[in-house]
Structure formats: structure tokens, C-alpha cells
Structure 1
């Protein structure tokens, strides 16, 4: 429902679609296969994400795991910023 109501979702789907659709047949037939592929992928992907989040949710509720995640998500951007900051120094 979220993807269907998001105005960017149809644009993201429709913008690359013409390059995968062959000419010569009616438009509904040309777009049916890519639409079925997207629907099949969504039927597999979203339940997989739900199951993964369910399993990870139990693990992430542990205080030590939550602290580890906070350290990584705070440390990674800091490290990236340091690398970008030192890049001109290393290039010289």
C-alpha cells in the first residue's frame, strides 16, 4: 500500500520501462510481462523482508546488540567523513 500511494513509485517503474518493451504489439501486451515480473518479485521480496525483520527484531532488542548497532551506524559515517576530509592531504 505504501508503494502504491507513493507518487515516486510509478515514476520509477515507468521511466525505464520503454527500453524493455518491444515495439509492434499493443501496449497492454507489451507491458504485461514486465508488470508480472515486478509483481512476482514483490510477492517474494516483501515476505522475505518481514521474516528477516522479525528474526532480527528479537536480536536487536538485546541491549548489547542495540549498542553495537548504534556504534556501527555512528562510526561508519564518522569514518567516511574522516576519509573524505583527509583525501586532499593524501593526494598532495
Structure 2
């Protein structure tokens, strides 16, 4: 079973779009997008959880992937598919 995947994002972020496209290519069917540009409290939440101000911030289950570059790096390293299957990082 695929773990919950959530991504803090904004409407105009090209990196958010790029990250979402990779996840869709990998077969992700449910992605919770949290729009921090619409809800400032969620931006504060993201910064508290991640210590980062930039989007996207991606979580696969409880694992904090980071941003778009980190997501693509996981894919290149062959570590993204196991994460999406719910296996340990």
C-alpha cells in the first residue's frame, strides 16, 4: 500500500510542478497538496516541521524528502520507488 504523500506548494512554483510530474510518472494517485500561498498558517507549519522556507517540501509517509532536487536525486539513486512502496528510506 502506498504511503500518504503530501507536498507543501504554491500556485506558481515550477519546482512544485516538476516534482508532481515525477510523482505522477511513478504512479502516485493521491497527492495532498498544501497550498501555503493560500494559508499562511500552513506556511508556518511547514517551516516548523522542516526548518525550510522554500517549496516544494515533500513528505512520503513520515519521511521528509525535501524539495524537488532531493526527490529527483532519490529517483536517480533508485531509492524513490521503495519509498513509494512504503519501504524504509
TM-score between both structures, scaled by the size of structure 2: 0.25
Structure with greater proportional strand content:
2
Q: Could you say which structure has the larger radius of gyration?
A: 1
Indicate the structure whose relative CO is greater, using CA pairs within 8 Å and at least 6 residues apart. 2
TM-score between both structures, scaled by the size of structure 1: 0.25
